[in-house]
Structure 1
């Protein structure tokens, strides 16, 4: 655990990296692989389990780098801002130097993992944003079209923890940013490093089930675009083959 007692606000070396993740019923998917990779380049992992009913908790606790796991008795699904705030509070309770927000189906490319220490051991900027690619139908191709282009902009996932700074998370039920919005006023770095998101790396039947779930939860498109939901069922989406640099 980092001791901030006599340290400068921003350290240029010797920073510890804590990964933070929220999970729910991730056993049998990508969770074990993600935790294995994170264990290789982070110092600590903290997890909030949103009321899983499968083997997720056992998987999390099987990794030595997982230092804290909080299991919620009642799921906060539908109250996402509370879930994000719970995870943030747990993560900062470890008195971290830097925090990496990771989903249970996200993998950092090899180049990004190798650069991680250089990104955090500096005192110039306080956050780093990466390009996240939505893989589609499998783990060899990502989707790229007018509705699926998250990778064409940067997403902030790596942040320096500054004790005493005001951290603000909007109280919204859906589309809550994964990290406090307050970081927007601090200096940051847009990294041309990539993250592979496997949440859509599914067979057609599984994609149909995800579509049905979105329509059940948001039939009028209040929280998302109905056009975007319908595009999940595209029979011939534009896919681009992934290549490591």
Structure 2
């Protein structure tokens, strides 16, 4: 690992690196996500988990994608290894701050504007946002007992500290996107919002996703069987999204 020169916590001149793991995302939201990320990050690092479409070529068409590794065999069923692989690739670039982004996540405009202020400081080492699960389309998010991640905070932005101990729990699925060891460091909870479009899909796609979850985790070892079943709710409680400028 290359040495990290200068102060450990810089108050200016920090580079922001987005990190992503992707698989067969070419026909979905990936292009739009990369376009938006290119507006406010400095670099993008990606692990392609064995895509069989042109996901890798799409990623490489963006100038800010500085590193991309394509796995020959998917690690989808060993998610902690996939997270670890992406993390190691990202830190090999000697980054300042890392923003973990899914291929179907969009930061609201106010969050983009705040990014530089959030990273150019020496007080805290991670930042959490409010994530909203959009459902069946891009106008409403879901809110009920099983779908309420937006009522909590999700850590997606972290300062890279060389020589700090980083680890992921060895789970096959539902692994935290960033190392758990950040929880002992000072952080900042924002009310800035992120739109997650992973569930903004048709009823047919929802059924396929439900079947895939049950196939991967039939006993609910890594997640909640009740939440899996709720994917098929015919009348979920949806709330209209209101943009904030």
- With the length of structure 1 as denominator, give the TM-score of the two structures: 0.97
Matched, 1:104 2:103: yes
What SS does structure 1 have at the residue aligned with 2:233? Answer: coil
**Aligned residue in 2 for 1:211:** 210
The equivalences for 1:221-236 within 5 A come to: 221-236=220-235
**Aligned residue in 2 for 1:88:** 87
What SS does structure 2 have at the residue aligned with 1:192? Answer: strand
Q: Runs of 4+ in structure 1 displaced over 3 angstroms? A: none
**Aligned residue in 1 for 2:121:** 122
The Cα of 1:222 is off from its aligned counterpart by 2.3
**Aligned residue in 2 for 1:163:** 162
Q: CA–CA distance in 1 between the matches of 2:136 and 2:59?
A: 26
**Aligned residue in 2 for 1:39:** 38
**Aligned residue in 1 for 2:66:** 67
Aligned-residue RMSD, C-alpha:
1.2
- The superposition leaves residues 8-49 of structure 1 with CA deviations (integer Å, 9 ceiling, x where unpaired) of 110011100000000000011000000000000000000000
What SS does structure 1 have at the residue aligned with 2:172? Answer: coil
Task: Say how many residue pairs are matched.
Answer: 243
Q: List alignment gaps of at least 5 residues for structure 2.
A: none
The Cα of 1:148 is off from its aligned counterpart by 0.3
The Cα of 1:212 is off from its aligned counterpart by 1.5
The Cα of 1:218 is off from its aligned counterpart by 2.2
**Aligned residue in 1 for 2:153:** 154
Q: CA–CA distance in 2 between the matches of 1:53 and 1:186?
A: 39
Comparing 223-232 with 213-222, greater Cα deviation is found at 213-222
- With the length of structure 2 as denominator, give the TM-score of the two structures: 0.97
The Cα of 1:217 is off from its aligned counterpart by 2.1
Do 2:127 and 2:190's aligned partners in 1 also have CA atoms closer than 8 Å? yes
What SS does structure 1 have at the residue aligned with 2:63? Answer: coil
The equivalences for 1:2-13 within 5 A come to: 4-5=4-5, 7-13=6-12
What SS does structure 1 have at the residue aligned with 2:205? Answer: helix
What SS does structure 1 have at the residue aligned with 2:156? Answer: strand
